[in-house]
Amino acid sequence: MLPRLSSRTILAIIAAMVAIGSGFIYKRKSEISAATAGVGKFLQLFSDCYKGKHPSWCEEDLSIVKRNLMIVWNELPSPFTATADQIIDRYSHQQNSKDNTRGHHHPLLAGKVAVVTGATGGIGEETARVLLKHGCHVVLAVRNITKGNEVLETMLKNIGDDSDAGSNLTGKGFVMHLDVSDLKLVDKFETDFRDTGLPLHYLILNAGIMAPPTYKTSKQGYEMQFATNYLGHFHLTRKLEDILLGSGIREFPARVIFVSSEVHTLWKVSLLPTESTERYSAVLAEEIPPNEKSYHPLMNYAFSKALMILCAKELQRRWGPESNAIAVALHPGIIETSLVESNPALEATFFRLLAFTLKSIAQGASTTVYAVVADEVVTNVRKNGASYFANNRWTASMEREEFTEELGKEAWELSSRLVDS
């Protein structure tokens, strides 16, 4: 008689099947085209691998399967998955209980200033809304000014209609033009932001694209995911660094938040034949910037997200543990947003296969908000350096052994050459 399986066990088995399948499909793109991969072909490949017919690459795929299993396992549904509103309410109550100097309750983020890139949709919009609701002044850094103004107007109306919030609790919203894929527009945004005279307490690097099916380039000629997800944000952070350091204090440091992804684990640096610093440097020199010949929609996405983590680690190393600003990275979860709208085939497959792991946008924004308000985030960074968070808690995923200090320095130097050229 077969044992009775719990729902969670059944979901874990399904997750394992999805992870194994994705490992083969992503790695074996020469054997299975993205357009024609079918269940029968996959089962045949899996059977051949199991029988030892392709030992040269079956063994290598085990590491990818393991990584994909970790991604999906971490996203299994939980009844304790908080929304962004719930996270900030929790920490607002904690702050109010500690600070009664004004004699009345006041918003946790009153007087603070945040810049949120990609704030017209998805978790960027939700992050901006929740911060505004709790008294933070928020700059929506967006590609489309008209859409940005519409989104801000809707946010403020909805906040005003919320019985739990009043106009006295609402921060001010600003819409400013920024396309992070264009380095010259990043320069323009810096100038415009400085002209406002505002401080900057939270720089939330959220804008991104995922897996365009064909190789596309930015205005400066860089692969679009590399330019949008990483290089533009790297440039923006360097441009605003002095404002961040001048706005924070040691007790309440400014925070730079890199919205990365657990998909970064698919970047195959751990599969290199040597662990030497020189080898890591050589590979980064070959990959920064990415070229058209080696383009793979998902792997280039993974690379851009890995670079965000390396940038956070190197930025925090340069600042030191006692600085007036901290850098963190996070995985928001698997969320059905417009992130992969440029690749309809991947969008349909990805979200259908992982439907049982999906978070709502409100849940997906919760870890970003957690990184903004939680005291333990600062404590963790002071103790361990730049840290990585998922599901509103610290995770060791960032501590991949190949993410060495030398690798972070090399990524920083190569990126600096690109933006300074």
Catalytic pick among 215, 295, 370, 388: 295
Please say if 295 is a catalytic residue: yes
Q: Is-contact 264 335, C-beta < 8 A?
A: no
Q: Two tokens at 416?
A: 């600096």
**CA–CA gap between residue 351 and residue 337 (Å, rounded):** 10
Of 130, 108, 111, the residue nearest 119 (C-alpha)? 130
**CA–CA gap between residue 263 and residue 302 (Å, rounded):** 5
**CA–CA gap between residue 177 and residue 146 (Å, rounded):** 10
Q: Which residue has the tokens 């908000």?
A: 369
Q: Is-contact 326 255, C-beta < 8 A?
A: yes
Instruction: Determine phi and psi for 140, rounding to 5 degrees.
Output: -85, 105
User: Any residues with CB less than 8 A from the CB of 149 and at least 6 apart, and which?
Assistant: 175
Q: Where in the sequence numbering do the catalytic residues fall?
A: 295
